[in-house]
Amino acid sequence: VRKGKTPEEVVKKYLQKVKSPPEEVSPASDCSADESVKVLQTNVGSVGLFQDCTICMEPLGGPSGYKGPGVGPVSKAESVGRLAQCGHQYHFQCLVAMYNNGNKDGRSVQYQNQNQVQTCVRVRSPEADPDQKSVEKPCEEERENNPTSCLSLQCPTCKTIYGVKTGNQPAGKMEYHVIPHSLPGHPDCKSIRIIYNIPPGIQGPEHPNPGKPFTARGFPRHCYLPDSEKGRKVLRLLLVAWDRRLIFSVGTSSTTGESDTVIWNEVHHKTEFGSNLTGHGFPDPGHLDNVLEELRAQGITEEDALV
């Protein structure tokens, strides 16, 4: 959907090379001579090829049992995919079919991550265009009506998630515009003001205390970036971070000590314009690079901004 990647390309990103799958494999054989062959093949990296693909229940050494639409032909060499992190293997076409299915049918994809269930949500691609007054809204309805559809794949055996990191930021709004004033330390350009607004609400299953209310203090929160090339790049990546629910979280504020409240996540923002009373103002020569580093730690890089 995003970035024009085909499902095959997305799935391939999550795979390891499986070395030399055997030309023809007879998984039904039960004689002991074949057993030793099985062990040998296992040792040269063909682990699991004698097993069934647990998506289609057909042997991995043979063709995928998937017969539906949306999955093209595949060469013998690429017929089996081994997921890079957990090592579980499936027919490549079965993985593509599963990916396509997860993106279309509206099933909720939930997964365990650090003891919290997180929900992958469909998000809208942002256009960072700070020259025009522009608004970025999270697609609340889409999120509720079709809470799946992310660029990720989940291993059906061990539930490992392959794909983008998403957070648990509550629903809200991110807006930005250019203001015709310069920030301290950036005398040669105008500035970008970002306005985040998140209302209080009820915690979901991805939050520390599901079902309990959370507060939202100090919103709308105004933040500033220089309207320079690098500042605009940071803005584009922040829009991606917003889409992935990574700008805010729900937890205990280290400033106020209040629990069950909306807090900044791990990406620093400058909330003071002309002064620096809180330490969250300008000038701060390292700020943009720091933010880029923090975004990288959240899995967001320049490539993500190429909408």
Smallest gap from Cβ 168 to ligand NAD, in A, equals 14
Q: Which one of ligand NAD, Zn ion, none interacts with residue 235, CB within 5 to 8 A by kind?
A: none
For 19, 41, 56, 166, the CA distances from 79, given in Å and listed in that order, are: 11, 17, 13, 30
Q: How many CB atoms lie within 10 A of CB 39?
A: 9
Q: Which one of ligand NAD, Zn ion, none interacts with residue 74, CB within 5 to 8 A by kind?
A: none
Smaller CB distance to Zn ion: residue 8 or 294? 8
Smaller CB distance to Zn ion: residue 78 or 260? 78
Nearest alpha-carbon partner for 298 in 249, 250, 231, 228: 249
**Size of interface with ligand NAD, in residues (CB under 6 A):** 13
Smaller CB distance to Zn ion: residue 155 or 240? 155
Q: Does 278 bind ligand NAD (CB under 6 A)?
A: yes
Q: Which of residues 215-234 bind ligand NAD (CB under 6 A)?
A: 217-218
Smaller CB distance to ligand NAD: residue 115 or 254? 254
Q: Which one of Zn ion, ligand NAD, none interacts with residue 94, CB within 5 to 8 A by kind?
A: Zn ion
Residue given tokens 């205390």 in the structure block: 209
* Binding segment toward Zn ion, per CB under 5 A, in 100-108, 155-163, 277-285, 287-295: 155-163
- Give the long-range contacts of residues 143-147, CB within 8 A, separation 24 or more: 143/171, 145/106, 146/106, 146/122, 147/106, 147/108, 147/119, 147/120, 147/121, 147/122
Q: Is 303 exposed, middle or buried (0-12, 13-18, 19+ CB in 10 A)?
A: exposed
Smaller CB distance to ligand NAD: residue 51 or 255? 255
Q: Where are the beta strands (DSSP E) in 27-141?
A: 80-83, 89-91, 110-113, 116-119, 134-136
Q: Torsion angle of alpha carbons 36, 41, 43, 49, nearest 10°?
A: -120
Smallest gap from Cβ 248 to ligand NAD, in A, equals 7
List residues binding Zn ion (CB under 5 A). 53, 55-56, 64, 86, 88, 91, 94, 155, 157-158, 160
List residues binding ligand NAD (CB under 6 A). 217-218, 253-256, 263-264, 268-269, 271, 278, 280
